Amino acid sequence: MREISPLQKERLNYRPKLAGVLSLGINNIKLSLKDKTSAVGDVEEIKKLFPNIFGEPIARFEAQGSELSRENKNVGVILSGGQAPGGHNVIAGLFDALKTANTQNKLYGFLGGPSGIVDGKYIELTDEIINAYRNTGGFDIIGSGRTKLETQEQFKKALGVCQELKIGAIVIIGGDDSNTNACLLAQWMKENNTGISVIGCPKTIDGDLKNDQIEISFGFDTATKTYAELIGNIQRDANSAKKYWHFIKLMGRSASHVCLEAALQTQPNITLIGEEVEQKAWSLDKIVTYMADIIAKRAEKGKNYGVALIPEGLIEFIPEMKNMISSLNDLLAGLEGNDSYINAKEDEKYSIISSKLNDSDAKLFNSLPAQIKAQLLMDRDPHGNVQVSKIETEKLLIAMIKEKLSQMKKEGKYTGKFSDQAHFFGYEGRCAMPSNFDADYCYSLGYNAFALIQAGLTGYLSSIKNTTKPASEWIAGGVPLTMMMNMEKRHGEMKPVIKKALVELDGPVFAALEKYREKWALEDCFIYPGAIQYFGPSDVCDIATITLQLEQEKQLANV
Ligand code: FBP
């Protein structure tokens, strides 16, 4: 019996490349501080809420400097939120930097996400444990969770646990919500003079944690390559059997980056982009009409098959749905603990909800199939997000398109056959073995996080830039978390949160889709990317995502 796969065995020996100056080693770099920063929105409010960490400068590491501190420092690490390929390498990079700086340093892994630090659940990460997880996918080394850190009680408990373990710094590996946690914790630790610093690392397959300083969140590269392989396989199947329309919903809770990148890699017939739907104020019916029109045009050419990509977060971008969901969020927050609602049967719940909504929201809510109503009423996650991964938008669209096509048939506008297959790709890619890019990038992010700690910084996000170039040219540094914050409504209240980066409709990536999508709709221009390549020529194994390449080209053109 095998204990691990032959590929995993091979990958355990892969030596990730370190970014630029970091390859000189943690003891041979110096910190340089650049421009002071502000916040992306609600500046005064954010300044007031984070007085001790607001407005710090951008940090960058340079070569040949005075050494960073080598004082003994124990660190606690937390994996937070949805899994993303490369998380284990962030921990490996952190571990290697910390041990290189001082062999007495210890790394503690808090178990099950942020709750681990509050409840004092942890393990010490040793060489033996780390070595078994190098270059592997998943977060199973210590597990993950979505607990929101915000109360005084949680912070005090976390402090007690850190003091017991002589922990001087905490690294939170997470997306926008998890790094919001990191920002709140950093502020609390500083204002209470605990001497404990907090550093974040940008994780999420969704790709929506990015800005001038954070070019890409880790996991996006591997996840999109994995989805592109699966979509390519389905396209080949569609093109072989020529009898199904495949509707593929792709993860990405809010932003449509995953869908856009996967589309550029595979060239399907239809790609919906949530941000475009919002900008054009498309109704559900307009989306259905747009899709049915392409299906009918392909049918005229004898092509009763095709592939459509649908972003997971689509539903929240449709203006009428967005309004209704926002009213539902407030309503559900108000109904928390209301026994007569909680104990009501499903149908009664729908009537209670519908009676409390305004006329247009109620009309829309009542028009939806029961399954979708139930999915919309499910509990929000601890950060107040609708669990869009559980809303079967792809099936809702299929049902509505069937109705539209039969109507078109009656009117003589459609003569084809429509046979559907629904898919949802999300979990299939979140724990894939990291690509070479994610293995290198994550290892560098972790190593760099320890450099930020040794430089005495807190409330920073580990940043590695220039990532379309070889790793030797990558730039290591840090960006203050407060720079990315603004105020948003969560659980019915205004809260400070990291602003999500959505698809820019005037950017080069969306422009690439816009340029070709009409051709891709009617002709068969499918690309079949195949599996992630680890070994072989560099222009096969080390290519950046199309998103990153186009964004970087644009940025360079503007310099
Ligand atoms: P993060 O933002 O925490 O990285 O999670 C992203 C994600 O994979 C989304 O794409 C998806 O909607 C969500 O997690 C699913 O959450 P869960 O793992 O709780 O089902």
The DSSP annotation for 507-539 comes to SHHHHHHHHHHHHHHHS-------SPP-SS-HH
Listed by start position, the domains of the chain span 16-219+434-490, 220-430+507-554
Of 206, 222, 314, the residue with max ligand 1 atoms within 8 A of its CB, to mutate for a pocket test, comes to 206
**Residue 171: enclosing H or E segment and its boundaries?**
strand 167-174
DSSP string, 6-46: HHHHHHHT--PPPPGGGGG-GGGEEEEEEEE---SS-HHHH
Catalytic entry in 206, 221, 438, 440: 206
Distance CA 282, CA 320 (A): 9
207 lines ligand 1 (CB under 6 A): no
CATH number of 220-430+507-554, picked from 3.40.50.170, 1.10.630.10, 3.40.50.460, 2.40.420.20: 3.40.50.460
Which of 544, 543, 552 is CA-nearest to residue 508? 552
- Give the position, in ligand 1's atom list, of the atom nearest the Cα of 387: 12
206 an active-site residue? yes
Which overall architecture, per CATH, does domain 16-219+434-490 show? 3-Layer(aba) Sandwich (3.40)
The protein residue whose alpha carbon is closest to atom 6 in ligand 1 is: 82
| Residue carrying structure tokens 């914050």 | 485
Q: Is 220-430+507-554 in the same CATH topology as 16-219+434-490?
A: yes
* Nearest-atom index, ligand 1, CA of 251: 10
The residue whose C-alpha atom lies closest to atom 16 belonging to ligand 1 is 82
89: nearest Cα among 186, 162, 19, 29: 19
The pLDDT tens digits along the chain (559 residues) read: 878 899 999 999 999 999 999 999 998 999 999 889 999 999 999 999 999 999 999 999 999 776 677 788 999 999 999 999 999 999 999 999 999 999 999 999 999 999 999 999 999 999 999 999 999 999 999 999 999 888 999 999 999 999 999 999 999 999 998 899 899 999 999 999 999 999 999 999 999 999 988 999 999 999 999 999 999 999 999 999 999 999 999 999 899 999 999 999 999 999 999 999 999 999 999 999 999 999 999 999 999 999 999 999 999 899 998 888 888 888 888 888 888 888 889 889 899 989 999 999 999 899 888 888 888 888 777 767 777 778 889 999 999 999 999 999 999 999 999 999 999 999 999 999 999 999 999 999 999 999 999 999 999 999 999 999 999 999 999 999 999 999 998 877 899 999 999 999 999 999 999 999 999 999 999 999 999 999 999 889 999 999 999 999 988 777 6
Pocket test for ligand 1, best of 224, 249, 316, 389 (most atoms within 8 A of CB): 389
Residue with CA at minimum distance from ligand 1 atom 11: 253
pTM above 0.85, yes or no: yes
CA 381–ligand 1 middle distance (angstroms): 10
Please state the atom number of ligand 1 nearest to the C-alpha of residue 253: 12
Contacts of 201 (CB under 8 A, 6+ apart): 90, 171, 172, 173, 174, 218, 445, 446, 449, 461, 462
For a pocket test of ligand 1, which of 179, 205, 393 has the largest count of ligand atoms closer than 8 A to its C-beta?
Answer: 205
Alpha-carbon distance 161 to 116, whole Å? 10
Hey, whose CA ends up nearest to atom 1 of ligand 1? 82
389 lines ligand 1 (CB under 6 A): yes
Q: How far is it, in rounded angstroms, from Cα 475 to Cα 495? A: 32
**Distance from residue 253's CA to the centre of ligand 1 (Å):** 7
Give the distance (Å) from ligand 1 centre to CA of residue 145: 10
Helix or strand holding residue 496 (H, E): strand 493-498
Kindly state the tokens that stand for 539: 């222009």
383 lines ligand 1 (CB under 6 A): no
The residues, any chain, with a CB within 8 Å of residue 102's CB and separated by 6 or more, are 70, 71, 72, 73
